[in-house]
Amino acid sequence: MFNFSKYKKFLAFISLSCLLVILLATCTQTVPESSEIRIGLIAPFNGDAAETTGNPTERGAKLAIQPINDKGGLEIDGKKYQVSLIIKDDRDNPDEAAAVTNELINQEKVIAIVGPPRSRSAIPAAEVAERAKIPMISTKSTNPQTTANKEYVFRVIYTDALQGKAIARFSTQDLKITKAAVLYDVANDYSRDLATIFKQEFENLGGQVVAFENYTTDVQDFQVLLTKIRESKAELIFLPNYAEEVAKQAKQIKELGLNVTLIGGDSWGSLLEESYTDLEGAFLAEVWTVDLPNPENKHFLEEYHKTYQEPVNSHAALTYDAVNLILEIAQKQGKADPESIREGLAHLKNYQGATGSISYEGSGDPVKSLAILQIKNNKLEFYQQIDP
């Protein structure tokens, strides 16, 4: 006679056995099921931003990946995997940045994302990546909001807080400035926050901010604001603005005959050389320069010039380091899944890259040095390094 009770027990045993097999297969999976590791890259490729930011970002990423693929791929747990770069254009727009981040995660199935470089796009992209639990490394966003209260979002550049304080200290202690003015974009997070941090630190160090003038994005004429600054008798003007605006502001400062020292943040690194004439003698903060004296930087420069035969900027160097970080951590962890990448980044100590040493201590913000450059004879020259 058919024993239904025994048959049910048999089915239950078979089901449990299948479940255990599936769970064991899942637990022991250390790399993607395919023979490909997919990394997302987000940057602006429209207008001037393409030449100064997007294209160098893409070149830096490809320079990190190509040598590995040429050798058969990234070796993980004894097997090699080709590395694919999935590139998206954020059009320097916050909404577009969030949209393409979603695409990379949900459609392209990337294990990690590099970029966006600019804070206004990096902040919304970071929110999407954090919710999806996909590691993201912004190359050049210095705004605290990018990594604040996030476990999966990192950066390979210092924060606005460190940068603003360092520029204020340099202005007071090295340049001996006692009266400063600030001209900033009140509608731009990067510009507004850096201006506020500089003002606080400059005044804490005994200096006086005699003019604190703001404008809104897309303003073309700064004559009225600059006239106020001239009347304030400021010895220095801090311009924490994007390169496109700084070029216009510097030209109008020169036309007004303002004899002051100009200084800016790392956004100046995207300035076109044709703007240097109006900025002769000005200082800027930067995370990287060709003159950084380390072997990794020398190797990066040699390979970049050999591959592209073009000038290199910090966007390329930072992206090169960010991509290499992901690949090295995947190799060390023996896994190429998002959680393993996040875990490896969170405990990274003294990684030596083209832009210097990188460590993370309890947050996605690295412990990192800062370089001060000066524009002299239509060139950017290394002036000094400021350690945190």
277 part of a folded domain: yes
Which residue did the predictor score with more confidence, 35 or 80? 80
How far apart are the C-alpha atoms of 73 and 80, rounded to whole Å?
Answer: 5
pLDDT band at 159 (very low <50, low <70, confident <90, very high): confident
Q: Are residues 54 and 133 in the same domain?
A: yes
Residues 297 and 324 in one domain: yes
Is residue 384 in some structural domain? no
pLDDT tens digit sequence for 213-236: 999 988 999 999 999 999 999 999
In this predicted model, what pLDDT tens digit does every residue of 25-39 receive, in sequence order? 333 334 445 689 999
pLDDT > 70 in the chain, percent: 91
What are the structure tokens assigned to 140, written together?
A: 């050049």
Of 267, 286, 305, the last residue of a domain is: 286
Q: Give per-residue pLDDT as tens, 46-74.
A: 988 999 999 999 999 999 999 999 999 99
Q: What percent of the chain has pLDDT over 90?
A: 80
152, 299: one domain: yes
- Given a cut of 80, whether residue 207 has pLDDT beyond it is yes
User: Are 148 and 179 part of one and the same domain?
Assistant: no
Reference 57, options 346, 321, 249; nearest CA is 321
With respect to residue 24, please indicate whether it lies within any of the assigned structural domains.
Answer: no
Whether pLDDT at 96 is above 80:
yes
Assess if residue 13 is contained within a domain. Answer: no
Q: Which domain holds residue 86?
A: 36-157+291-368
In a domain, 297, yes or no: yes
Count the Cβ atoms, other than its own, within 10 Å of residue 95. 11
Does residue 4 belong to any structural domain of this protein?
A: no
The mean per-residue pLDDT over the stretch 354-369 comes to 91
What domain count does the chain have? 2
Q: Do 41 and 104 contact (CB within 8 A), yes or no? A: no
Dist CA 260 CA 92 (whole Å): 32
Same domain? For 313 and 342 the reply is: yes
| pTM, two decimal places | 0.74
Closest-CA residue to 209 (of 197, 227, 191, 192): 197
Which H or E element spans position 353? Answer: strand 351-353
Q: Label residue 20 by pLDDT band (50, 70, 90).
A: very low
CATH number of domain containing 240: 3.40.50.2300
